[in-house]
Structures are given as structure tokens and as C-alpha cells.
């Protein structure tokens, strides 16, 4: 998986195994690889031993290890813009040091443990997505199932362009790609409220929004009414352009006299 | 021969029976010409052959004439009330209007005829209390069955809408694919319909339309029909049919036939289904609701 992926897991070793695979791909692509976990760094070195000479890689700067609690103050809302600045600086540094980019595997469960942190974190994922789409930065975000409410897991999976299949079953994804906000998958009456909430999160910048519907497989009239309400609202702010609407969208708009 | 309602109502709904082309013209031409002379807008919904006959006898370029493609729009008669209403509202000057609507033409299926007959009675309910206009419904007495003609004689003046959602639909005549569904299963509802449509040979557009219609109807079952429902899908006589049943009870016989207003939520699902499908049949009572959607494998 490239870009920005969400990985929901039950056991710690499942995340580590997936992260090892993800980071190995980064080594092959000559990216600087970063592991962020809740374990102390010493423990991380052992977990990542299958990568090869971990000590040598760390000395060379090819691998960086961080303990989550040292990186952020857990459970507190973190200003997404500040975080983005940190990651972009790290990406620039990796490129300046001769790497093709930065590849991060982060076990981020503890960041969203507090209820106040949730909305800020979802916003962060959404904003991070915009930068990842346009910078040599990829991120693999792990969240432990038992520690977080199911609804939050669904939201987290939905704001990533990709998530591990079926866990949880996410009907749609809402993410950034090449400056567009992309809506992929299916939106019906019962996913429409989540869609509504996450779309607001994804398009809150006050800038011109370019919405790509090319990967939307299905939307019913409840979902479309919510989408139309957003595009109308955005049109009066920074502006909103809708691209690649599937035929079902055009048909419903015509039938219900809705404008996107 | 004209059967007109006896009571004084704003809406005059007349059945007109003709035995052949001459009788057809003898009835329709004076009706249209009288409208033009009186400065009325004349809305004409006739099958193509009848329309051709009429157009040779009148000035087809008269600005007072508006033609509607009845074989397309009226293929599903559930679309016609909102179509007539929009044409009526389209008369900005508020002038008088008359219409010519032939919905039961020879060759229609039993299910279509049944829906057309219900539609004729629903017209009285939909327009009975509104502004005055006259709708003449020609019936080809030379080609249609006595049962159809007898029903038409009665349906035009009838104001009562009792029993318009009553009755049972015939059971499936083909191998059925089915599932029970709840809130979490709409995706599977869509997949089942899509798969059967693909197997039956519907093109992408007709498949998408049927999938959307079935999903909207199933959503109604979940939201208004007891939280769950049952879907049956089968192929019969060149058509793919989707039956959605639930335990809800619909009381408004005009459900799904009037364009939903923007400011009032709800009531859109069945209206959308009517616009997308070749035929929609709704039966409802205390024992539950059944909505049957029909989509021809090829566009009729």
C-alpha cells in the first residue's frame, strides 16, 4: 500500500507484521522509514529486527524510531496544522539527505483515546491526506480495535483512501488526491449521516473545493441531498467544482431538481 | 359515445370509445379544435400512430398544442399524474387547459392494464379538487377487451379512492432469488438486483436504474415498514421483476405519484422508483405492503 492507509488490528503483533511489510517496501524504494509505536524505543528495535541491521540503519539515518508519548502529548487535541508542519519538515529533510521520500508506520491508537482528541484527530487525518497526496510522504496508520469505539474506527477507515478490507466494513472513503477531494464507494440513507459529517471535516478549509465523484459506485437520494447541501454551501464560500459524476448522480439530480 | 361524470367538479374526466380510425377522428378532432378556438392550451398524449392520424387533420404547428410522448412517459402510468400536473402548472397565463390521454393501447400487459385502470381512478382524486380542466381518454373499442371498456366506463366519473391499494399481485412465475434485509443489508440488496439484472441481460443504464429504485424502496421498508423487509427477484416474460415486501401499511393511494416538494422530506423513494422503472405496482393493507418493480430487459 502506498499513500495513506488505515490498518485496524486486534493484536499488537498483527500491526507489527503489517508495518514490517510496509517499511520493507520503503527500504526498497529508497525512502527514509519511520516507525512510531507505543512501546519504548528499545523494544521497537527488537520488534523491527526482521528489517535487517536495525542499529546500522538507525546510525545511517535510514530508519527512525519514535515512542508515541514522546512525539505528542497523548489524549490531548493536537493542532493539525502543527503536526503537518512537523511531517513536512521531516519529509523535506529526508529528501535533502538523499532519500526518495519519507515512509511512516504509526500505531496511533493512543492519540485518539480521549474523546476530545477524536474530532481533532479525524481532522488531522483528513488534512494529512491532502499533503500526502501531493508530497513524497506515505503513512500507514494503525488503530487497535478493542481500544476505540466502532464508530470511530469506521470514521478513521473512511477518511483514509485505503483500509484493510472488512474491518470494519466501510461503505465509502473520502480522501484527497492531486488536490481533489475524492468520494469512493457507496453512500446510502444509513451511511449518509456519517458521510455528511466527514465531508464537512474534509472540506472545511474555506478554499475552493474540487470534488471528484469518479469512484463513487452508488448514492441514493438521501446521500445526494446531503452532498448537494454541501456543494451549495461550499459554492457560497470558496467555491466548489464537481468532477466525473456517475450517471446515477446526474439522473437523481435531474429527477429531484438538485444542483451539485 | 362519451361517459362524463355527473357531478359539477372542476376536473372533467371523460372516457371516449372509438371503433375505428374514423370514429377516433370524429371524436378527437372537434375536441382539439374546440380547445384551440377557445384559446385553450391542448395537451396531447397519444400513441404515435394515433397522434399521426390526428396531426394530419389539425394544424400541428398551432402554438396551443403540446405533445407528450405517452408511450414513453406513460409506459409506467405511475408517472402520469405528476406529468399532467407539471404541464398544467406550465401554463403561465393561467388560461384554460384540456388534455387528450390514451393510456391503454392494444398490446399492454395485464399488469400494465391493471395499473392504468388504477391510474384513471386516481386522476379523479388528484385533480378533483384543483383548477378546472378537461381530460378526454380515448379507448380503442375495436381492439380492447370488454372488461377494459366496462371498467373504463365506470372509472372516469368515480371519485372514491377506496381500495386503490387493495388486492394481491400474482405470484412469481419464474425462478426466484430472494433475501431478507435490514439496515445493514442494503449493499447486498443492490448486489442481488445488479447480479440478476446482469444475468437477464439488462444494459448498464437499465440495471443502474433498477438497482437505485430497488434500494430506495427497500430503504422505505426499513424506515417506514417495520425496520426490515424481503426482496424477491425473478425474470418473467422479457422483464426483470423485483418484489419488496414489509409489514408497513401505506394509506395514501397517491403515494409516489406526485413530485415530492423540496421543503417536505419523505415520499421521494416511490416517486423515484416510478420515474425509473417501466412499471411500479403498490399493494398495501393491514397485512403489509408489497411494491413490485418491473424493468424490461430492453427498453420497450
CATH number at A234 reads 3.30.750.24
3-state SS, residue A251: helix
Query: Is the distance from CB of B284 to CB of B165 less than 8 angstroms?
Result: yes
Who has greater pLDDT, B243 or A78?
Answer: B243
Q: What is the CATH number of the domain that holds A89?
A: 3.40.50.300
**Concatenated DSSP letters of A109-150:** GGGG-SHHHHHHHHHHHHHHHHHHTTSSEEEEEEEEGGGS-H
In B, which residues are within 8 Å of A248 by CB distance? 208, 212
In A, which residues are within 8 Å of B219 by CB distance? 188-190, 220, 222
Domain termination site, one of B155, B185, B212: B155
Average pLDDT over residues A201-229: 89
Residue B229 to residue B89: CA distance in whole angstroms = 37
Segments forming the whole domain that contains residue A23: 1-167
pLDDT-derived band at B217 (thresholds 50, 70, 90) equals very high
Give yes or no: residues A114 and A235 share one domain: no
Domain termination site, one of A146, A167, A188: A167
Q: Are strands B279-285 and B288-296 parallel, antiparallel or unpaired?
A: antiparallel
Residue B5 to residue B154: CA distance in whole angstroms = 9
Whether A252 and B272 lie within 8 Å, measured CB to CB: yes
Give the per-residue pLDDT at B71.
Answer: 95
**% pLDDT > 70, chain A:** 95
pLDDT-derived band at B6 (thresholds 50, 70, 90) equals very low
> pLDDT per residue over B146-199, tens digit each?
999 999 988 887 767 788 899 889 999 889 999 999 999 999 999 999 999 999
3-state SS, residue A185: strand
Q: What HEC string does chain B produce?
A: CEECCCCCCCEEEEEEEECCHHHHHHHHHHHHHHHHHCCCEEEEECCHHHHHHHHHHCCCCCCCEEECCHHHHCCCHHHHHHHHHHHHHCCCCCCCEEEEECCCCCCCCHHHHHHHHHHHHHHHHHHCCCCCEEEEEEEECCCCCHHHHHHHHHHCCCCCCCCCCCCCCCCCCCCCEEEEECHHHHHHHHHHHHHHHHHHCCCHHHHHHHHHHHHHHHHHHHHHCCCCEEEEEEEECCEEEEEEEECCCCCCCCCCCCCCCCCCCCCHHHHHHHHHCCEEEEEEECCEEEEEEEEECCCC
Give yes or no: residues A104 and A211 share one domain: no
Average pLDDT over residues A198-202: 87
Query: Is the distance from CB of B124 to CB of B158 less than 8 angstroms?
Result: yes
Residue A92 to residue A110: CA distance in whole angstroms = 27
Segments forming the whole domain that contains residue B96: 2-155
3-state SS, residue A1: coil
Average pLDDT over residues B89-97: 74
Give yes or no: residues B117 and B228 share one domain: no
Residue B295, strand partner residues? B240
Residue A40 to residue A52: CA distance in whole angstroms = 19
Whole-prediction pTM = 0.89
In whole angstroms, what separates CA A23 from the centre of its chain? Answer: 17
Residue B168 lies in a domain: no
Give yes or no: residues A96 and A40 share one domain: yes
Residue B172 lies in a domain: no
Q: Does B209 reach chain A within 8 Å, measured CB to CB?
A: yes
Give yes or no: residues B71 and B207 share one domain: no
Give the per-residue pLDDT at A203.
Answer: 80
Give yes or no: residues A60 and A184 share one domain: no
In B, which residues are within 8 Å of A247 by CB distance? 205, 208
Query: How far, CA to CA in Å, does B248 sit from each of A240, B128, B283, B287?
Result: 40, 28, 11, 8
Give yes or no: residues A30 and A99 share one domain: yes
Give yes or no: residues B128 and B181 share one domain: no
Residue A201 scores a pLDDT above 90: no
Evaluate the CA torsion angle A36, A39, A40, A42 in order and state its sign: negative
Residue B242 lies in a domain: yes
Q: What is the CATH number of the domain that holds B255?
A: 3.30.565.10
Q: What is the CATH number of the domain that holds B79?
A: 3.40.50.300
**How buried is residue B107: exposed, middle or buried, by Cβ count under 10 Å (0-12/13-18/19+)?**
exposed
Range with the poorest average pLDDT among A239-253, B132-146, B151-165, B189-203:
B151-165
Give yes or no: residues B133 and B183 share one domain: no
> pLDDT per residue over A156-175, tens digit each?
999 999 888 766 678 999 98
Q: Are strands B2-3 and B239-246 parallel, antiparallel or unpaired?
A: unpaired
pLDDT-derived band at B10 (thresholds 50, 70, 90) equals confident
Nearest residue in chain B measured CA to CA from A257:
B262
Whether B212 and A251 lie within 8 Å, measured CB to CB: yes
Residue B285 scores a pLDDT above 90: yes
Give yes or no: residues A130 and A214 share one domain: no
pLDDT-derived band at B263 (thresholds 50, 70, 90) equals low
Domain termination site, one of B120, B155, B190: B155
Q: Are strands B288-296 and B239-246 parallel, antiparallel or unpaired?
A: antiparallel
3-state SS, residue A78: coil
> Which residues have CB under 8 Å from A42's CB, separation 6+?
none
Give yes or no: residues A91 and A192 share one domain: no
> Which residues have CB under 8 Å from B86's CB, separation 6+?
B259
Nearest residue in chain A measured CA to CA from B79:
A255
Give the per-residue pLDDT at B174.
Answer: 83
How does the average pLDDT of chain B come out, rounded? 91
Whether A222 and B215 lie within 8 Å, measured CB to CB: no
> Which residues have CB under 8 Å from A257's CB, separation 6+?
B262
In A, which residues are within 8 Å of B211 by CB distance? 218
Domain termination site, one of B124, B155, B186: B155
Give the per-residue pLDDT at A96.
Answer: 97
Domain termination site, one of A110, A143, A167: A167
Give yes or no: residues B92 and B130 share one domain: yes
Query: How far, CA to CA in Å, does A69 sit from each of A36, A40, A125?
Result: 10, 9, 18
Whether B190 and A186 lie within 8 Å, measured CB to CB: yes
> Which residues have CB under 8 Å from B277's CB, separation 6+?
B76, B209, B210, B213, B293, B294, B295
Give the per-residue pLDDT at B1.
Answer: 47
The domain tally of chain A equals 2
Give yes or no: residues A51 and A128 share one domain: yes
The domain tally of chain B equals 2
Query: Is the distance from CB of A140 to CB of A1 less than 8 angstroms?
Result: yes
CA distance A258 to chain B (A): 9
Give yes or no: residues A66 and A137 share one domain: yes
Residue A240 to residue B1: CA distance in whole angstroms = 60
Residue B131 to residue B98: CA distance in whole angstroms = 11
Residue B9 scores a pLDDT above 60: no
Most confident residue range from A101-105, A229-233, B66-70, B160-164:
A101-105
Whether A188 and B268 lie within 8 Å, measured CB to CB: no
> pLDDT per residue over A133-144, tens digit each?
889 999 999 999
Give yes or no: residues A178 and A163 share one domain: no
Nearest residue in chain A measured CA to CA from B205:
A247
Give the per-residue pLDDT at B92.
Answer: 59
Give the per-residue pLDDT at B95.
Answer: 75
Q: Provide the edge-to-edge strand list for the sheet that holds A137-144.
A: A63-67, A32-37, A102-107, A137-144, A4-9, A162-163
**% pLDDT > 70, chain B:** 94
Residue B3 scores a pLDDT above 80: no
Amino acid at each position: 500500500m502506498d499513500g495513506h492507509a488505515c490498518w485496524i488490528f486486534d493484536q499488537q503483533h498483527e500491526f507489527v507484521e503489517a508495518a514490517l511489510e510496509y517499511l520493507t517496501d520503503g527500504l526498497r524504494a529508497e525512502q527514509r522509514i519511520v516507525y512510531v509505536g507505543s512501546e519504548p524505543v528499545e523494544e521497537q528495535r527488537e520488534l523491527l529486527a526482521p528489517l535487517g541491521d536495525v542499529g546500522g540503519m538507525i546510525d545511517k539515518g535510514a530508519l527512525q524510531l519514535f515512542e508515541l508519548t514522546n512525539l505528542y502529548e497523548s489524549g490531548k487535541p493536537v493542532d493539525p496544522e502543527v503536526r503537518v508542519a512537523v511531517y513536512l519538515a521531516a519529509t523535506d529533510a529526508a529528501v535533502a539527505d538523499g532519500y526518495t521520500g519519507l515512509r511512516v508506520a504509526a500505531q496511533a491508537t493512543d492519540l485518539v483515546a480521549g474523546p476530545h482528541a477524536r474530532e481533532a484527530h479525524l481532522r488531522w487525518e483528513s488534512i494529512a491526506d491532502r499533503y500526502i497526496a501531493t508530497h513524497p510522504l506515505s503513512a500507514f496508520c494503525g488503530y487497535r480495535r478493542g481500544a476505540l469505539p466502532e464508530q470511530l474506527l469506521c470514521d478513521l477507515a473512511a477518511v483514509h483512501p485505503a483500509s484493510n478490507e472488512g474491518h470494519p466494513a466501510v461503505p465509502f472513503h473520502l480522501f484527497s488526491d492531486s488536490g481533489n477531494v475524492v468520494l469512493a464507494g457507496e453512500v446510502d440513507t444509513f451511511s449518509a449521516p456519517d458521510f455528511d459529517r466527514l465531508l464537512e471535516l474534509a472540506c472545511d478549509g474555506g478554499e475552493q473545493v474540487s470534488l471528484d465523484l469518479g469512484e463513487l459506485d452508488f448514492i441514493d437520494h438521501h446521500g445526494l441531498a446531503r452532498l448537494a447541501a454541501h456543494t451549495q454551501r461550499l459554492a457560497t464560500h470558496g467555491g466548489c467544482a464537481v468532477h466525473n459524476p456517475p450517471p446515477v448522480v446526474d439522473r437523481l439530480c435531474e429527477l429531484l431538481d438538485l444542483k451539485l | 359515445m362519451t361517459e362524463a361524470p355527473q357531478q359539477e367538479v372542476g376536473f372533467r374526466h371523460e372516457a371516449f370509445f372509438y371503433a375505428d380510425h374514423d370514429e377516433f377522428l370524429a371524436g378527437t378532432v372537434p375536441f382539439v379544435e374546440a380547445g384551440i378556438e377557445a384559446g385553450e392550451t391542448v395537451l396531447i398524449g397519444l400513441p404515435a400512430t394515433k397522434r399521426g392520424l390526428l396531426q394530419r387533420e389539425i394544424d400541428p404547428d398551432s402554438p396551443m398544442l403540446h405533445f407528450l410522448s405517452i408511450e414513453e412517459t406513460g409506459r409506467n402510468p405511475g408517472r402520469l399524474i405528476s406529468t399532467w400536473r407539471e404541464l398544467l402548472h406550465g401554463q403561465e397565463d393561467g388560461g384554460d387547459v384540456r388534455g387528450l390521454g390514451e393510456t391503454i393501447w392494444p398490446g399492454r400487459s395485464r399488469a400494465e392494464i391493471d395499473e392504468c385502470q388504477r391510474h384513471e381512478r386516481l386522476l379523479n382524486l388528484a385533480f378533483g379538487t384543483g383548477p378546472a380542466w378537461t381530460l378526454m381518454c380515448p379507448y380503442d373499442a375495436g381492439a380492447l377487451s370488454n372488461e377494459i371498456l366496462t371498467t373504463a366506463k365506470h372509472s372516469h366519473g368515480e371519485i372514491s379512492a377506496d381500495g386503490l391499494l387493495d388486492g394481491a399481485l400474482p405470484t412469481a412465475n419464474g425462478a426466484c432469488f430472494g433475501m431478507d434485509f435490514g439496515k445493514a443489508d442494503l449493499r447486498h440488496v443492490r448486489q442481488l438486483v445488479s447480479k440478476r439484472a446482469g444475468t437477464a441481460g439488462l444494459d448498464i443504464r437499465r440495471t443502474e436504474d433498477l438497482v437505485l429504485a430497488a434500494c430506495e424502496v427497500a430503504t422505505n421498508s426499513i424506515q417506514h415498514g417495520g425496520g426490515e423487509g424481503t426482496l424477491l427477484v425473478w425474470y418473467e416474460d422479457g422483464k426483470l421483476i423485483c418484489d419488496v415486501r414489509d409489514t408497513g401499511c401505506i394509506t395514501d393511494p397517491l403515494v409516489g405519484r406526485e413530485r415530492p416538494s423540496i421543503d417536505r422530506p419523505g415520499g421521494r423513494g416511490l416517486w423515484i422508483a416510478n420515474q425509473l422503472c417501466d412499471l411500479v405496482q403498490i399493494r398495501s393493507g393491514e397485512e403489509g405492503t408489497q411494491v413490485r418493480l418491473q424493468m424490461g430487459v430492453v427498453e420497450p
